[in-house]
């Protein structure tokens, strides 16, 4: 969706600060902070006894976090009636890809010493790495078409259809993380991400059902009262 | 003593202060006496004994030991820093993050402590820690430690061969395996109760593995008693197997007829077998075991090739002669 997308709800009252020209640069800088922290840690030696593992894990964590943030934009702008939030979505999506690439590079370099043959064999042999790689590859065309001219060239509908691949990306990403933790029955962190993703995708499903005519009627108080024949207290 | 803001503490009677040189000298004498006693204890047993090679970090009580004469017991590799050995731990009773055990085990109570030795033995006995500490002369052994996760360390342990204890209890002919049970105290161990593993943590060895002189009953590391996060007060160290075989904070040693099911085998049978010998040729289902990362070598160090039986093949290879190690992983 373009940054000029019109507000869907009439009741939207855009907070003026969301439109402030400084918002985007600030989010950009904030998104670079995890990287800055990791680079600092690598240089200063504060990443603990196993810095390679720390780098691979953290970049993976941040990929998943940015993915959640990107997917949170749509529900958040509905819940808080802030359509202007969508201005940040593309940047967050690109940062997801950015951290995903860093995650892959850390694995390829620190675990595989950048030996291409070893990397290919490892990916083919191990489902959890294969799934992670698939998620990253799926993100590539989305990142590549994330500029306005691409949208124009592709046509809004096709562009949107392509970008629905983000749902596959998040599910593959969750599976990648799940498999990594599977043998250790250590699903605490995973459940948090899975829960967040469930809410973010669940909201979309609910909303999609609402927009079908009959259900849309249910969504409005009067319509709901009529079709359900429910006695409303107010 | 008075505290003066500009000069710190001031002793009331200056002549009563022990000069630094004097107390340092005194301390050295005590250390030498302790080392001497250890030497005397170990000399007959070992024939030749050296003074300690590793400097104690001065964090916990000293545990003097003589250098072990067991073949393969002293690798020449540089020991991993004490800081890394004691802050990067897998001890799931205290948390699943590597930094958790050091943080969550600070108040862990290791005295009084008893270890029950039971099962197929002629002389079952509940040992208290003091008895165990005196059971055989303490030896320092510098072992490689390889974790199934693909990292490794070099750790100077203090203890004695488990065989010393086994001989005392006289196993019967029915004893084919040894089962090790570790403490599971939900009051002290915040993750006992989590579903990560079934508690208490159980491990096992075949009788000949348990009797092998390299199998160490460990009471200390770096010349001091074990830090809580490393399995205080007493743990097992089996240097040719993946780290998780070396159960921490032991409370029970059972001699049994049937092969015990270890906690990790229960959790994921297809990933963690009974033997769990370090083997670069048998991959973990989710990663290769061909190489390892040595902790403390920094970000830019290359992974090093993993050695068969973690490099202890000359010592333990014959234990597995004729076995298919891909099946018996």
Cβ separation of A42 and B88 shorter than 8 Å? Answer: no
Considering only the beta carbons, identify the residue of B196, B283, B299 that sits closest to A186. B196
Which value does ipTM take for this structure?
A: 0.76
Residue-wise pLDDT tens digits, B257-316 = 999 999 999 998 989 999 999 999 999 988 899 999 999 998 888 899 999 999 999 999
Nearest CA in chain B to A126: B286
- Asked if B245 and B179 count as a contact pair (C-beta separation under 8 A), the reply is no
Greater confidence, A152 or A4? Answer: A152
Reported as a pLDDT band with limits 50, 70 and 90, residue A190 is very high
Low-confidence ranges of chain B (pLDDT < 70): 1-53
Q: What is the mean pLDDT of chain A?
A: 86
Cβ separation of A48 and B88 shorter than 8 Å? Answer: yes
Q: Which residues of A touch B87 (CB under 8 A)?
A: 48-49
Q: Which residues of A touch B288 (CB under 8 A)?
A: 122
According to DSSP, the residues that pair with B161 across neighbouring strands are B216
Which of B151, B243, B244, B286 to mutate to test binding with chain A, by most A CBs within 10 Å of its CB? B286
Q: Which residues of A touch B84 (CB under 8 A)?
A: 49
Considering only the beta carbons, identify the residue of B87, B151, B287 that sits closest to A126. B287
At B62, is the secondary structure helix, strand, or coil? Answer: strand
The confidence score (pLDDT) of residue A215 equals 54
The confidence score (pLDDT) of residue A153 equals 93
- Asked if A169 and A146 count as a contact pair (C-beta separation under 8 A), the reply is no
Instruction: Tell me the two tokens of residue A22.
Output: 């400084």
Dist CA A28 CA A22 (whole Å): 10
- Find the radius of gyration of the CA atoms of chain A: 21
The confidence score (pLDDT) of residue B33 equals 54
Reported as a pLDDT band with limits 50, 70 and 90, residue A191 is very high
Kindly tell me if the per-residue pLDDT of A139 is higher than 70: yes
Instruction: Tell me the two tokens of residue B292.
Output: 């390892």
Alpha carbons within 13 angstroms on the beta-carbon side of residue B106 total 6
Given CA atoms B268, B270, B276, B281 in this order, what sign does their dihedral have?
Answer: negative
The confidence score (pLDDT) of residue A219 equals 52
Cβ separation of B272 and A183 shorter than 8 Å? Answer: yes
Dist CA B242 CA B175 (whole Å): 24
Nearest CA in chain B to A184: B196
3-state SS string over A131-158? HHHHHHHHHHHHHHCCCHHHHHHHCHHH
Determine the distance in angstroms separating the CA of A181 from the nearest CA of chain B, rounded to an integer.
Answer: 10
Alpha carbons within 13 angstroms on the beta-carbon side of residue B236 total 33
Question: Mean pLDDT across the stretch A93-100?
Answer: 98
Which of B101, B296, B299, B305 to mutate to test binding with chain A, by most A CBs within 10 Å of its CB? B299
CA angle at A93 for the pair A72 and A30, rounded to the nearest 5°? 85
The confidence score (pLDDT) of residue A181 equals 85
CA dihedral A150, A155, A157, A162 (to 10 degrees): -30
Global confidence as pTM: 0.80
- Please tell me whether B82 is known to bind a ligand: no
The confidence score (pLDDT) of residue A223 equals 43
Neighbour-count burial of A222, counting CB atoms closer than 10 A to its CB (0-12 exposed, 13-18 middle, 19+ buried): exposed
Domains annotated on chain B, with CATH? 14-319 (3.90.420.10)
- Please tell me whether B106 is known to bind a ligand: no
Neighbour-count burial of B278, counting CB atoms closer than 10 A to its CB (0-12 exposed, 13-18 middle, 19+ buried): buried
Greater confidence, A11 or A51? Answer: A51
Range A107-142 burial, b when 16+ CB lie within 10 A, else e:
bbbbbbeeeeebbeebbeebebbbbbbbbbebbeeb
Kindly tell me if the per-residue pLDDT of A224 is higher than 50: no
Kindly tell me if the per-residue pLDDT of A213 is higher than 70: no
The confidence score (pLDDT) of residue B52 equals 44
């Amino acid at each position: 969706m373009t940054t000029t997308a019109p507000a869907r709800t009439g009741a939207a009252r855009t907070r003026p600060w969301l439109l402030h020209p400084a918002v985007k640069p600030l989010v950009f800088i904030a998104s670079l902070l995890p990287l800055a922290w990791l680079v600092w840690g690598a240089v200063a030696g504060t990443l603990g006894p196993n810095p390679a593992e720390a780098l691979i894990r953290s970049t993976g964590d941040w990929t998943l976090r940015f993915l959640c943030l990107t997917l949170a934009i749509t529900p958040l702008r509905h819940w808080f009636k802030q359509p202007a939030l969508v201005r940040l979505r593309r940047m967050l999506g690109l940062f997801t890809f950015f951290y995903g690439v860093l995650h892959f590079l850390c694995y390829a370099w620190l675990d595989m010493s950048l030996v291409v043959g070893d990397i290919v064999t490892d990916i083919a042999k191990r489902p959890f790495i294969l799934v992670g790689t698939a998620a990253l590859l799926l993100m590539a065309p989305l990142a590549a078409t994330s500029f306005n001219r691409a949208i124009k060239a592709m046509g809004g509908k096709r562009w949107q259809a392509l970008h629905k691949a983000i749902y596959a990306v998040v599910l593959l990403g969750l599976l990648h993380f799940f498999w990594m933790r599977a043998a250790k029955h250590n699903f605490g962190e995973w459940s948090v991400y899975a829960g967040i993703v469930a809410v973010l995708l669940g909201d979309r499903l609910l909303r999609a059902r609402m927009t079908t005519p009959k259900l849309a009627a249910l969504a409005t108080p009067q319509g709901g009262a009529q079709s359900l024949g429910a006695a409303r207290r107010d | 003593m008075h505290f003066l803001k500009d000069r710190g503490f001031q002793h009331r009677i200056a002549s009563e202060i022990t000069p630094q040189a004097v107390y340092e000298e005194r301390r050295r004498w005590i250390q030498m006496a302790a080392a001497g006693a250890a030497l005397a204890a170990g000399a007959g047993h070992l024939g030749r004994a050296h003074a300690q090679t590793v400097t104690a970090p001065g964090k916990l009580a000293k545990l003097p030991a003589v250098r072990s004469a067991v073949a393969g017991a002293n690798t020449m590799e540089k020991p991993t820093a004490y800081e890394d050995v004691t802050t990067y731990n897998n001890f799931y009773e205290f948390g699943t993050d590597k930094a958790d055990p050091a943080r969550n085990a600070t108040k862990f109570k290791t005295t009084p402590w008893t270890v029950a030795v039971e099962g197929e033995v002629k002389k079952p006995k509940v040992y208290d820690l003091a008895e165990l500490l005196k059971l055989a002369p303490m030896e320092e052994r510098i072992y490689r430690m390889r974790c199934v996760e693909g990292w490794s360390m070099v750790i100077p342990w203090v203890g004695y061969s488990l065989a010393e204890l086994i001989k005392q209890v006289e196993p019967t002919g029915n004893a084919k395996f040894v089962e090790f049970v570790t403490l599971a105290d939900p009051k002290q161990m915040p993750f006992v109760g989590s579903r990560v593993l079934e508690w208490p943590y159980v491990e096992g060895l075949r009788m000949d593995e348990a009797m092998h002189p390299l199998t160490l009953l460990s009471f200390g590391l770096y010349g001091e008693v074990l830090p809580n996060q490393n399995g205080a007060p007493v743990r097992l160290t089996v240097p040719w197997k993946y780290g998780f075989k070396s159960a921490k904070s032991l409370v029970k040693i059972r001699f049994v007829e049937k092969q015990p099911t270890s906690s990790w085998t229960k959790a994921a049978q297809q990933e963690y077998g009974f033997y769990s010998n370090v083997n670069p040729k048998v991959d973990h289902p989710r990663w290769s075991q061909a190489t390892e990362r040595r902790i403390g070598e920094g970000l830019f160090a290359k992974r090093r090739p993993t050695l068969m039986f973690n490099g202890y093949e000359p010592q333990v290879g014959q234990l597995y002669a004729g076995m298919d190690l891909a099946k018996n992983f």
